[in-house]
Amino acid sequence: MRVMGVDPGLTRCGIALVESGAGRAVTALDVDVVRTPTSMDLAERLLAVHTAACHWLDTHHPDVVAVERVFAQNQVSTAMGTAQAGGVIALAAAQRGIPVRFHTPSEVKAAVTGSGRADKAQVTAMVTRILGMQTKPKPADAADALALAICHCWRGPMAERLAAAQARAVGAGTRNSWVQR
């Protein structure tokens, strides 16, 4: 499975491509950070992020896109920009029929380090080790995008099976509700 991991942001948006193999084997195929200056108009910044996402999607053809879910941040403007960047990436994937899955930061940290409270240095160190990289990915946005992709490789298939089972259970309950009356 090829997973495009995205650490959304307006100033720096990390994008990575990871391929899963047998067991927990994962290989980094590409990683980059899209940067936009704060002096640029918001619409132009979003267009730059969208254009980069479209290029990645059309070049790498991932099976799924894993995006960091925005849950809460101290600065509302930062949270808004992060959510907007994630939105244009989700849009680009949806336009191509590529599924998008969202993962919380603590879920990603727990997947790669074993602790949902790990700091950025710990995440970067584990990503470097898991992928067998010679040097740490920089900046942190690149490491975070790789971590998102790894998280989805390891947790996504199980989450998909669970969601499908829950949907079947709900459907079965609806079909059989007349029997219980």
Binding-site residues from annotation: 7, 68, 141
pLDDT of residue 181: 47
Binding-site residues from annotation for Mg(2+): 7, 68, 141
CATH fold label, 2-175: Nucleotidyltransferase; domain 5 (3.30.420)
Confidence of residue 175 (pLDDT cuts 50, 70, 90): low
Is 7 a residue of the active site? yes
Q: Which residue in the list 58, 63, 141, 144 is annotated as catalytic?
A: 141
Is 141 a residue of the active site? yes
pLDDT of residue 178: 47
What SS3 class is residue 23? coil
Is 30 a residue of the active site? no
pLDDT tens track for 78-132:
889 999 999 999 999 999 999 999 999 999 999 999 999 999 999 999 999 999 9
- Over residues 69-85, the mean pLDDT reads 83
| Distant-in-sequence, close-in-space partners of 104: CB < 8 Å, separation ≥ 6 | 68, 69, 71
Give the start-to-end residue ranges of the domains of the chain: 2-175
